[in-house]
Chain A
Amino acid sequence: GENVEQHPSTLSVQEGDSAVIKCTYSDSASNYFPWYKQELGKGPQLIIDIRSNVGEKKDQRIAVTLNKTAKHFSLHITETQPEDSAVYFCAAKAGNMLTFGGGTRLMVKP
């Protein structure tokens, strides 16, 4: 089955800096890659997603890039703010299954 690895597990940045979270997947048939943000005590919130026929997608301060050849995709957050502090999960869809990475705890220091 699909295996998704996510790095780093924790990331601390200064407010205003950029943050990058990387994920690799194993199943070359994976064709959909969402990113979720989970704040303490809440369910995961879909923040951006990308399909396998697109290399990059941007939404305001967040962007996702996909390299199908290398089987990895990344989340980029620019001009980080304290409210960006949360746990971020990547995921990859292969067939009828969504496999999640282990999560990255992002801390934005004011």
Chain B
Amino acid sequence: EAGVTQSPTHLIKTRGQQATLRCSPISGHTSVYWYQQALGLGLQFLLWYDEGEERNRGNFPPRFSGRQFPNYSSELNVNALELEDSALYLCASSLTSWLEQYFGPGTRLTVT
């Protein structure tokens, strides 16, 4: 069974630009979660999507947004990039909301 996949692996952007990150969940999983992991820090919850709807968001500004497609894959968009947005962005999926989340390998976003 294929795990959670994310693309791209690395992304380099300039301050002020927009970044789009993609995630494909494990087959059958309908919940998708996004987390930010800044260097040396823990995981901070960003967004939760379930059945195509945004269900909850963490303490992040509105320039962090996303969506979930009918096939349950998801996209995270970060607008007006700032230097402090540089981090590893992790996507996770689960069959039951908030239980047994399985993570992808992440997208390393670097903002210069």
A residues with CB within 8 A of B: 32, 34, 36, 41-46, 49, 89, 91, 93, 96-103
Binds A, one of B13-21, B62-70, B79-87, B98-106: B98-106
Pick the residue among A32, A100, A102 that contacts B98 (CB under 8 A). A32
Chain A interface secondary structure, helix, strand, loop or mixed? strand
State the total of A-B contacts with C-beta under 8 angstroms: 51
Chain A's nearest CB lies how many Å from the CB of B61?
18
Given A46-B100, A46-B101, A46-B102, A89 and B42 contact (CB-CB distance below 8 Å)? yes
B97 engages A32 (CB within 8 Å): no
Provide the bound-state CA to CA distance between A101 and B103, in Å: 16
B101 engages A102 (CB within 8 Å): no
Closest chain A residue to B105 by CB distance? A43
Chain A's nearest CB lies how many Å from the CB of B52?
16
Chain A's nearest CB lies how many Å from the CB of B70?
22
B residues with CB within 8 A of A: 4, 33, 41-45, 48, 55-56, 58, 90, 92, 97-106
Given A44-B90, A89-B43, A103-B42, A98 and B101 contact (CB-CB distance below 8 Å)? yes
Provide the bound-state CA to CA distance between A34 and B101, in Å: 9
Given A42-B105, A43-B104, A32 and B56 contact (CB-CB distance below 8 Å)? no
Pick the residue among B48, B55, B98, B103 that contacts A43 (CB under 8 A). B103
